[in-house]
Structure 1
């Protein structure tokens, strides 16, 4: 006969409800029908755990069974009657010491999950005239759960039909508990292994010290959930609390930045670099009496002080505490020690990262302007976004420089490289360029001098840069570009476009490089956007696509300016910065500079234009004509542009040709009640020679200046000054043309 293999315990048996009793169908021969054992008689045999009475137990076997707590059973299959001895009844949990019932009623004594398993095994043994055995659980009358193991054999009658099953039962509760404990320990070990893996992953992703503290204080320790966690760093003999959970604030603050005194358990753990475990309040008080007074107020009853050791030195401490007294076993202590090692490595790495970041941030703060000066008539906003890798420092910079005459200079640049050397060069170049601009040099000269300065440094670095001088009076921009990006202009209607600026070589490439100036105008409320290439270019995005995206971000509606609310220009700067790549993916640092030309109230430009014309600076005359055109258009007297430009050119040219000193040009628009606007243009010089009106010949190339002034101006004249003279003319807007 085949013997059924030993079961592995109820926890591994398939589950299912026991079969319910009911009408027993007639049987034919021996076999299985409808999942029940069919006896050779008309009585159906229901599978179950049979037991037998002690009256058939041989006398020589009884002492051995009694000594080992083994009971016997006897199941009469034909009559479906189970009998058991007293020991079997005690093991099964039947009161009264007597069992005399059917198999179906006996199955009701079993745990609902185990009854189907026992039924299937008994059915198979009956069908095969073989043996069977299993673990099963029974619930005693008092509610306790016990485990029983049985082994039985089916006996046949003279005709080879199953007649009886006889066997033994014995208590397996201890064995079951042992198995359950083993399974529980195996599950706990697996859970701890999984916890170590998850903790290692979480701590490896922690970048800053704050991240490490957050991860540590949120760790769910398996099998020993702590009631309190503290993470502290060791700094010059003091503990700096980085994070804590499960403690009142006042219980933690008393230790924050307090000296690590030698009588404390934390000091012993740090000094010896081995964990200190205290399983009870009594042990704490006995081993560290001087420290107990303060520790007693926390309400804890067990502690683990774990030193954080990295590179052979203690850098901090973890404290794990419990409300109840607890003796940690070897596995628990190993788990905590392993956790301490993971936290130590992560904390050391995070402290290094924070130190590097603070160094980079401090250096960048020194290199960049601390504040942007306020200039009447314009509003500025700046942003600096470090790269997402390395020291997070680079050569990008911005600057706003107040200039003589109420102008303002804007600088945006990027020194080649992404390291401390590039940042140092950037600082030197920023200061030099600011000095050149503040001296009053025109934009082209400022850029040429800056290029020569960088070339003379002999650093093998170059820099791209855009410098723009903004005339605050009437919104004209004079821009110079040295290998940098074109600026973007946002108009008051929400549209935006790239403003083309004539470019030159980057700074430092050639000491003799010259640059051209591009002139364009802003309307009141227009915004000039300057940025470095980190905002619009990356390995995944080309420059044209990036500039298009920038224009899209710059465009659109902005909230109106309201008192007490954030300026719309700041919101626009935030919008542009938010459109940049995430800091973890950003490959280059980004400098961003925005300027909005506000103009005077009412949206009209200031109605006075005053410029000095250098005696040898003939190119300035052409620039002056352009400034005058813009000024008259913004003042609302565009009909005077052609005449005023022609006559102003004559007076300025006459002043610089016939003197050896600079000339001062002034244009003013007067608005008087009830009268048309009147434009007065004056040119002052230091010559005592007065102009003479004369009629030139047909072949003469000069001498017509005063004739034009006299013919086209509404009024003109020459006025003496202390030294020199002032020539002037006036035009009335309503009478022009």
Structure 2
């Protein structure tokens, strides 16, 4: 029960007067009551008590007219007395009422009695005033609200002696206050609801989000029993979301033409909400629409038009299972909700349209499919940026090349907007054309850089282009300001493959790019990606590359029957990127696994062509050969193999005028031993001659070294030219 801030005191009833009183006694009683009332009134105002001769004649009629009773509590004797009106207000029988303060407190509601006791005790201690609302429980169980005000009087020595005051029935007053409090709480709930609805709808991005938020909104007061959100599309209502209705009940309305005799049509046409408080009102105002609505069991409705930019875009339906005459506050609340939903829906529709446009443009710019190339398996993924138009300049491509080779392209045009996507589309097509014409990787990259510079778009692009010799697993890679590839070995380990880098495309038209060669074993995977996967404002490049290596390495994901493991690996990488809160840029991802040619190859092989004028290539061959032998598990043979290979290749280039083809293979025997064989082929018919050089001779010792260090060696004719070879044997591991 709501109480006033001032304290409250107990109430005492007056003694019951016998029914047979003389006229003189009645007159004397009236004078005493009037005097007591004047005494109480003066005390309540802090004035000196009146004498018997100063009681105003109007006091008793005034208190009677206003239903006010008076009480007098003798504090020392703990005796309560009150006039007949006080007893009537409290519902007491004066003959059977114990006039002690404890008996009075026993009449009060259990929640109010402690409050009254504390306030009266404080007033007595401070010689002050007190007052309160409290509830009285009558003997018959009825409950009424009472209000009193009293003041404590002191005796001549300054000690508390009496409390005198007024009492009156406050049931109606308290109900009014209760209703006001309830309305205040409801208004607060409505205000809080509008704030929460506005926040939730402002965070809704798509049309589906808006429908979900609307159908889950907890409306204040008695909540509705049904909610439906529908958009207006070419004169038809498309239901976006609903709750409280069976699907089959609202299905006939979905995508159906809007009936002009329906309340939803009225709301959309007039742009004013339509409120129907009962089934009779619905039937009377919309007789043609009523037969379809009647079986649904609703009894009152609100149709709220959704307006955006002075144009109707849909309607909300709020329905109830009982007759409900919505008051002005309810209608204002629902109208405000309709406005919020309309603005949010308009924004979400624009977002969905932009997203669809961006997605369509991105699909056109990127390859529709990756062409299959025998001997390789590829997987690609594209993830749009987390914000903005969800379109960007990242791209990938797989280009079949002459001679059974395949070109892998990964690139990123600066920016992630429509302009960047347009530049990306042009550059992708140009680079693909240069590669398909058969130009070597360095020439492809240089021509693409000149092409982008000539476009004069103000954009630059990073790119990695790799040409893969599918027959031998040799990769020729060129990098223009882009990330190095990551290679996944057959055992699940990973390594970042260094590739010599150059300037991004479009910055220097005359830039010359260098080629880096590396080899793959069957089953190894090359991973090419853009920087959106490994770099962000809160993520540096080294940490991002470590994360990528962890995602690429380790056991391959378990797959269902018929699912390519490489696709599952691409899904794992993309899923980790999509779940990252650090991602801000779009991402292109290209994975290629070298399976070997269709006819198969020995388990491990390295094949290189050494140009006649490219003597520096011999040093590169030595490094590649050392790496290959180590990867094949026979690293103890690396030094000998490197030395003997240099001798045979140098012999072929010095004594002929043609290129040399170097092939290195490792064979596994049944007893667990391994046999390393290296062959050097040339087109010269000149047979090598073993000589014994003089002490000061600068050459002639090559074949002597081969004969001394190799387990076996030889020279074989091959129709046109010859083949020199040597073999090294490694003991079982």
The CA distance in 2 between the partners of 1:499 and 1:612, in whole Å, is 21
Show the counterpart of 1:49: 11
Q: Determine if contact 2:532/2:586 at 8 Å carries over to the other structure.
A: yes
Name the CA shift for 1:142/1:440 in 2 (closer, same or farther; >3 Å): farther
Name the CA shift for 1:76/1:449 in 2 (closer, same or farther; >3 Å): closer
Name the CA shift for 1:395/1:124 in 2 (closer, same or farther; >3 Å): closer
Shift of 1:405: 3.6
Name the CA shift for 1:543/1:72 in 2 (closer, same or farther; >3 Å): closer
Name the CA shift for 1:512/1:72 in 2 (closer, same or farther; >3 Å): closer
The CA distance in 1 between the partners of 2:377 and 2:543, in whole Å, is 28
Show the counterpart of 1:419: 417
Shift of 1:111: 1.4
Shift of 1:454: 2.3
1:197 aligns with 2:195: yes
1:372 aligns with 2:334: no
Name the CA shift for 1:425/1:356 in 2 (closer, same or farther; >3 Å): same
1:595 aligns with 2:592: yes
**Aligned match of 1:264 in 262, 265, 287?**
262
1:484 aligns with 2:482: yes
Show the counterpart of 2:22: none
1:324 aligns with 2:322: yes
| Deviations 1:423-457, CA, capped at 9 Å, x for gaps | 11111211222232233332122222322332333
| Deviations 1:516-571, CA, capped at 9 Å, x for gaps | 1101122334332222222333334444444344445544x224776628655445
Deviates more, 1:206-215 or 1:630-639: 630-639
The CA distance in 2 between the partners of 1:321 and 1:413, in whole Å, is 55
Shift of 1:208: 1.7
Q: Determine if contact 1:625/1:645 at 8 Å carries over to the other structure.
A: no
Show the counterpart of 1:285: 283
Q: Secondary structure at the match of 1:203?
A: helix
Show the counterpart of 2:435: 437
Shift of 1:99: 3.5
Shift of 1:380: 2.8
Shift of 1:493: 4.2
Shift of 1:74: 4.8
Aligned pairs for 1:306-455 (under 5 A) are: 306-455=304-453
Shift of 1:272: 0.9
Q: Determine if contact 1:558/1:572 at 8 Å carries over to the other structure.
A: no
Q: Determine if contact 2:12/2:72 at 8 Å carries over to the other structure.
A: yes
**Aligned match of 2:459 in 440, 461, 473?**
461
Q: Secondary structure at the match of 1:254?
A: helix
Show the counterpart of 1:220: 218
| Deviations 1:322-353, CA, capped at 9 Å, x for gaps | 11110111111111111111112222222222
Show the counterpart of 2:91: 93
Count of matched residue positions in the alignment of Structure 1 and Structure 2: 670
Shift of 1:652: 9.3
With structure 2 as the length reference, what TM-score do the two structures score?
0.78
Name the CA shift for 1:123/1:718 in 2 (closer, same or farther; >3 Å): closer
Name the CA shift for 1:641/1:603 in 2 (closer, same or farther; >3 Å): farther
| Deviations 1:147-191, CA, capped at 9 Å, x for gaps | 012244567789987666555432110000101111111111122
Q: Determine if contact 1:382/1:593 at 8 Å carries over to the other structure.
A: yes
The CA distance in 1 between the partners of 2:669 and 2:574, in whole Å, is 49
Q: Secondary structure at the match of 2:589?
A: strand
Deviates more, 1:204-213 or 1:520-529: 520-529
In structure 2, the gaps of 5 or more residues are: 18-28, 35-56, 694-699
Show the counterpart of 1:586: 583
Q: Secondary structure at the match of 2:187?
A: helix
Name the CA shift for 1:119/1:524 in 2 (closer, same or farther; >3 Å): same
Show the counterpart of 2:506: 508
Show the counterpart of 2:561: 564
Deviates more, 1:392-401 or 1:639-648: 639-648
The CA distance in 2 between the partners of 1:488 and 1:382, in whole Å, is 15
Q: Determine if contact 1:680/1:728 at 8 Å carries over to the other structure.
A: no
Q: Determine if contact 1:412/1:467 at 8 Å carries over to the other structure.
A: yes
The CA distance in 2 between the partners of 1:622 and 1:493, in whole Å, is 30
The CA distance in 1 between the partners of 2:669 and 2:568, in whole Å, is 41
Aligned pairs for 1:42-81 (under 5 A) are: 48-53=10-15, 56-58=29-31, 65-77=63-75, 79-81=77-79
Show the counterpart of 1:108: 106
Deviates more, 1:445-454 or 1:389-398: 445-454
Q: Secondary structure at the match of 1:303?
A: strand
Show the counterpart of 2:240: 242
**Aligned match of 1:295 in 290, 293, 296?**
293
Name the CA shift for 1:573/1:71 in 2 (closer, same or farther; >3 Å): same
Show the counterpart of 1:517: 515
Q: Determine if contact 1:13/1:117 at 8 Å carries over to the other structure.
A: no
Deviates more, 1:117-126 or 1:173-182: 117-126
Q: Determine if contact 1:52/1:82 at 8 Å carries over to the other structure.
A: yes
Shift of 1:718: 6.5
Show the counterpart of 1:529: 527
In structure 1, the gaps of 5 or more residues are: 1-8, 19-46, 658-662, 685-689, 699-703, 720-725
Show the counterpart of 1:183: 181
Deviates more, 1:335-344 or 1:532-541: 532-541
1:231 aligns with 2:193: no
The CA distance in 2 between the partners of 1:715 and 1:158, in whole Å, is 141
Shift of 1:379: 3.2
The CA distance in 1 between the partners of 2:689 and 2:125, in whole Å, is 143
The CA distance in 2 between the partners of 1:157 and 1:610, in whole Å, is 122
Shift of 1:233: 1.5
Q: Determine if contact 1:389/1:584 at 8 Å carries over to the other structure.
A: no
Q: Determine if contact 2:215/2:227 at 8 Å carries over to the other structure.
A: yes
Q: Secondary structure at the match of 2:345?
A: helix
Name the CA shift for 1:11/1:571 in 2 (closer, same or farther; >3 Å): farther
Show the counterpart of 2:116: 118
The CA distance in 1 between the partners of 2:331 and 2:146, in whole Å, is 36
With structure 1 as the length reference, what TM-score do the two structures score?
0.78
Q: Determine if contact 1:607/1:631 at 8 Å carries over to the other structure.
A: no
The CA distance in 2 between the partners of 1:186 and 1:632, in whole Å, is 82
Show the counterpart of 1:34: none
Aligned Cα root-mean-square deviation (Å):
4.6
